[in-house]
Amino acid sequence: QLQLVESGGGLVHPGGSLRLSCAASRFSLDYYAIGWFRQAPGKEREGVSCIKVIDGTTHYADSVKGRFTVSRDNAKNTVYLQMNSLKPEDTANYYCAARSYSCSLWKIDFPSWGQGTQVIVSS
């Protein structure tokens, strides 16, 4: 079974930055797309970003375009989400998920999920 582990969450002031990591074990990310999702209390889980690992093609939700950047380190079998200019509305549990080959921002398209990491943006 695919195993994904997120890390890097925490408490940050508005305008600050965090970098989340999604490390894969027991499989190579090369032929997968990795999506980042978030879920705030009382809200639906929403797609934030996605990267097609083999060629680095990326996708972003409108709410994070220009602020978040998704990238991968093939040697470390890890995908990152760099989050800049954070806002209180970015507060949520963030999850990475894997699906075969192509990107999507729909949670239903992803069969494999990590356990999540919490991001709190507050002054």
pLDDT in tens, 5-33: 999 999 999 999 999 999 998 888 888 99
Where are the extended beta strands (E) located within 1-123?
A: 3-7, 10-12, 18-25, 32-39, 46-52, 57-60, 68-73, 78-83, 92-100, 112-113, 117-121
pLDDT in tens, 65-97: 999 999 999 899 999 999 999 999 999 999 999
Interatomic CA distance for residues 99 and 104, integer angstroms? 9
Interatomic CA distance for residues 19 and 122, integer angstroms? 17
Judged against a pLDDT cut of 80, whether residue 1 lies above it is answered with: no
pLDDT in tens, 45-63: 999 999 999 999 999 999 9
Region 99-118: mean pLDDT is 95
Q: Write down the pLDDT at residue 97.
A: 97
Q: Write down the pLDDT at residue 22.
A: 97
